[in-house]
Chain A
Amino acid sequence: MAEESNLQYQNSVQTDEGKKTGIISYGAGNIFSLTAALERQNIPFGMIYSPEEFDQYDRYIIPGVGHAGAAMQKLEESRMIEKIKSTSKPVLGICVGMQLLTDFSEEGNAHLLSIAPLRTRHFDETLQIKVPHTGWNKVCSQFENELFNDIKDGTYFYFVHSYFIEFNPTFTLAFADYGVKFSAALKKNNFYGVQFHPEKSGEAGEKILKNFSEL
């Protein structure tokens, strides 16, 4: 944590030059920590507020905190759904942003993007677990994948969520166990999602962001 890096953060304003990763800005939650993590990793990024700004980026992050149904509604209002669904560039959904990739969420009984044929469910109270699932949970890989490049199997990532995407042998990229085995990460074609917060998951999380930026 040298003083140089302080300066670097201050200078790291979003210019039009060197933009690569576009963050879908649809009003779902605070993204300060995400942009700070990208800056720490020297990953160039910009914010996308409208469909017209979409095509100038190489890859996309869909952030999201809060209520999945409300997030979906905001995404609809942003008019970016068609762009997202039709892109062949890499897309990474984080937390609720990942849940948006599924068919349906029990949170608000909301119909979502249906990119992956999966359901987002609430942690069952009968599992005798505490909800929200809060803290560092072990993540185990299901398939070899470039998103988890150089990340040891069984690495801990930081989770905070009450709804989870069910485990699926085809689309689950990595899973976690919390009373129930669920999708910690998923992949369908160019679409990736992580339920944990890479921007808060120490060096392992930063590595995920770095790996995504190099896809």
Chain B
Amino acid sequence: MTNHSYNYNQSAAPQASERENDLPQADHFPAISGGLAKRIIPCLDVKDGRTVKGVNFVDLRDAGDPVELAWQYSQQGADELVFLDITATHERRKTMVELVKAVARQVNIPFTIGGGINEIADADILLNAGADKISINSAAVRSPELVNELANAFGKQFVVVAVDTKNINGKNLVHLNGGRIPTDIETKKWIKEVEERGAGEILLTSMDHDGTKGGFDNTLLKKINDSISIPLIASGGAGSEQHFIDVFKLTNVDAALAASVFHYGEILIPDLKAKLKKENIEVRF
């Protein structure tokens, strides 16, 4: 946003109508649709209302305050935020609601909250507190019907299904509890299933790449992205700006999520977006 007043001049109108006539036919439409920006999403782990991973921003007054951190990220040009609540106490629901309300009051970009959402009532209370989306992971595997119920109750745009995947003997298998518990569910099959059940978006984390800073799992991400018609968020492995360029160019995913590279200031969002733009990847400034 600049302060310049846009000149809505007369010449804009004829250009617009020319453009309408020039619209390509549906089957010629490019895979990357004009106008929709690729999203950059910082992920914040929260426990008892405080961010848990170290954060290294120079101008933060309180690095443990998720609301201040969220606000900083929105100012830097983050397109969206994900909060992962890992509170284990029975106070969890209360602290999550307080967090969501505080973020919704102060932050003017969309955000998703995940962690410990097991039933409609959990989601309902978070929606009313101002969450744009909720993310479910293990609860969906344990009870796949939950995806249908959430989509029916709140609309699919509200329902993100997070999937943690790990390669076991050449097979990509869904894992639970932050990647600790393997299942025998094949990742692609599971993602197709939750799409059918009403998921509005998939957040796919490769446990093989997560924490390595060696880049996203582009092979898997491309395979999944090509097989679904809902947005896909790539997660796990971001270590450099080039990794973001690669994931968008090689897989055409809709968004890329990372935590530590942003929190420690190793990658600054404005610099990253400038790089992506230079590579002709559409980003929002």
Contact of A9 among B4, B34, B39, B105 (CB under 8 A): B105
Tell me the residues in window 124-151 of chain A with beta carbons closer than 8 Å to chain B beta carbons: 124-138, 140-145, 148-151
* Contacts A130-B229, A130-B230, A204-B1 given; does A179 touch B254 at CB 8 Å: no
A137 and B6 contact, CB distance less than 8 A: no
Q: Which of B15-23, B43-51, B176-184, B235-243 contacts A (4 or more CB under 8 A)?
A: B15-23
A141 and B6 contact, CB distance less than 8 A: yes
Query: Which residues of chain A come closer than 8 Å to B8, judged between CB atoms?
Result: 141, 143-145, 148, 153
B33 and A177 contact, CB distance less than 8 A: yes
Query: Which residues of chain A come closer than 8 Å to B39, judged between CB atoms?
Result: 135-136
Complex Cα distance, B154 from A202, in Å, reads 24
Write out, one digit per residue, whether chain B residues 197-239 have a CB within 8 A of any chain A CB (1) or not (0). 0001100000000000000000000000000111100000000
Query: Which residues of chain B come closer than 8 Å to A179, judged between CB atoms?
Result: 26, 29, 33
B26 and A126 contact, CB distance less than 8 A: yes
Complex Cα distance, B23 from A14, in Å, reads 47
Contact of B56 with A by CB under 8 A? no
A200 and B110 contact, CB distance less than 8 A: yes
Contact of A90 with B by CB under 8 A? no
Query: Which residues of chain B come closer than 8 Å to A141, judged between CB atoms?
Result: 6, 8, 12
Query: Which residues of chain A come closer than 8 Å to B162, judged between CB atoms?
Result: none
Query: Which residues of chain B come closer than 8 Å to A164, judged between CB atoms?
Result: none
A residues contacting the other copy or chain, number (CB 8 A): 65
A152 and B37 contact, CB distance less than 8 A: no
A127 and B26 contact, CB distance less than 8 A: yes
Nearest CB on B from A52, distance (A): 26
Contact of A36 with B by CB under 8 A? yes
Which residues of A are at the interface with B, using a C-beta cutoff of 8 A?
1, 5, 9, 30, 32-33, 36-37, 39-40, 65-67, 124-138, 140-145, 148-153, 155-156, 158, 160-162, 167, 169, 175-181, 197, 199-207
Q: Show 13 A/B contacts (Cβ-Cβ < 8 Å), sorted by A.
A: A40-B108, A128-B26, A133-B36, A134-B231, A137-B36, A142-B12, A152-B1, A152-B2, A152-B4, A156-B285, A167-B20, A175-B16, A177-B34
Rank and list the top 9 A-B pairs by shortest CB-CB distance, nearest first.
A144-B8, A32-B130, A156-B284, A138-B35, A177-B35, A136-B284, A203-B1, A136-B37, A160-B157
